[in-house]
Structure 1
């Protein structure tokens, strides 16, 4: 147990230690600590603390109660990874990577991984009592499914002979489809802004995930509106900006997923999550540093 102390202290400092169950009475604490019902991904939080600090790897922006003897594994890394990969591919297309300009390559991912799998992760967040995680992951799962439907030719929503076709809208707006897509993206920008406000007391990496995603939706929505106004150059630059912010959001989602999976049972190092100074954990760290300084 002596050589495990530094790792345990490091985990506690970063605000997502799994801890050791009280009342072990001489049992093998290390074995007990990692016995999650046979599932090392469960990340069960035990100990004397009634509340745990915010942590992006749990997709939880606020203080929440410890969950003991949880039957479910932590579903947040799965949902974050599903979101990250789908966002990465679509953002690469928006950036024009390797001259790929058609976003249809993202459709299978949007249906299967970013859509279905992320939706399931959101439902599992509901089961473990995480309202924020359930709302966010389920909603973005729905976003990807809706976006995939939008790009599916058989639905013909944006097709050449669809409801927004030039022949049908010439007298009103030849590019009405662009404004329709802009409204679609604007709604998701508003929703993401709400979630962003709920991360202000959590961690820097969790906040930055939603901040970059929010800007991505904003840039893409403005790009669609600019294209409807025949501002082609501005639209292209805005879409590229949306792709850049989306790429950052994808890697931040992977970062938080990595932080949610890595602990001293499976990794040689832990992922820093950088608590805000005004957060509960930040205040605790400042008080601890002040007390240490006074003792010295």
Structure 2
């Protein structure tokens, strides 16, 4: 292969976004009760592979391109999906006992909401599609966390619906970035940075 054949590395963001988006939509459908609660078993392998591993790979690739935001986002949310899947596997198989955890899982989700809120602030310099992804994501985390912490299922269900929107927006953003890069021009609008 000629040395000048590849001069610019590929953008890993669309890969990380679709991995995040698909996994988020599937879990959020369970959280919104559009799919049965037993569907979490289907989410686990997707969370480990596409939601987790693919985002971790995208985060490492973002590091290599010098994109601090992309690196922090994809490595963090990739790790979130691994945490979620491992928590379900360990507790579901009796290896760890979360029956006495009380509001701890809810508080963990609220902490993810805090992290996502400050990542959302950084998106004010990015396109509007990413701004919407992170806006709906921090709202999702807070609703799921508060609903779990206080034991109010309706709040968690609302978080599921907002999560469906969030995951769909992430998939749309991935679609736009892939399509626009392939065509070499804006075909799918993502909204100019603010």
TM-score by length of 2: 0.89
- Which of 133, 147, 153 is residue 236 of structure 1 equivalent to? 153
Aligned 1:162-181 pairs, distance under 5 A? 162-165=96-99, 176-181=100-105
| Alignment match, 2:192 | 275
Q: CA RMSD in A?
A: 2.2
| Alignment match, 1:190 | 114
For the residue of structure 2 that corresponds to 1:271, the secondary structure is coil
Question: Alpha-carbon deviation of 1:225?
Answer: 1.2
Contact residue 204 and residue 275 of structure 1 kept, 8 A? yes
For the residue of structure 1 that corresponds to 2:66, the secondary structure is coil
Contact residue 107 and residue 146 of structure 2 kept, 8 A? no
Residues 104, 267 of structure 1: alpha-carbon distance in 2 compared, 3 angstrom cutoff: farther
Question: Alpha-carbon deviation of 1:150?
Answer: 0.6
Contact residue 264 and residue 270 of structure 1 kept, 8 A? no
Contact residue 259 and residue 272 of structure 1 kept, 8 A? yes
In structure 2, the gaps of 5 or more residues are none
Residues 256, 264 of structure 1: alpha-carbon distance in 2 compared, 3 angstrom cutoff: closer
For the residue of structure 2 that corresponds to 1:74, the secondary structure is coil
Question: Alpha-carbon deviation of 1:126?
Answer: 0.3
Residues 268, 189 of structure 1: alpha-carbon distance in 2 compared, 3 angstrom cutoff: closer
| Alignment match, 2:166 | 249
Contact residue 115 and residue 142 of structure 1 kept, 8 A? yes
| Alignment match, 1:208 | 132
Higher helix fraction (1 or 2): 2
| Alignment match, 1:101 | 37
Question: Alpha-carbon deviation of 1:263?
Answer: 2.9
Aligned 1:1-296 pairs, distance under 5 A? 37=5, 69-70=7-8, 72-98=9-35, 100-102=36-38, 103-152=40-89, 155-156=90-91, 162-165=96-99, 176-227=100-151, 235-263=152-180, 265-266=182-183, 270-276=187-193, 279=194
Residues 263, 188 of structure 1: alpha-carbon distance in 2 compared, 3 angstrom cutoff: same
Whole-angstrom distance in 1 between the partners of 2:13 and 2:93? 36
Residues 129, 93 of structure 1: alpha-carbon distance in 2 compared, 3 angstrom cutoff: same
Q: Which has the higher contact order (CA 8 A, sep 6+)?
A: 2
Question: Alpha-carbon deviation of 1:177?
Answer: 2.6
Contact residue 259 and residue 270 of structure 1 kept, 8 A? yes
In structure 1, the gaps of 5 or more residues are 1-35, 39-68, 166-175, 228-234, 280-296
For the residue of structure 2 that corresponds to 1:195, the secondary structure is helix
Cα deviation digits, residues 172-196 of structure 1 (max 9, x gap)? xxxx434111121111111101101
Question: Alpha-carbon deviation of 1:161?
Answer: 8.2
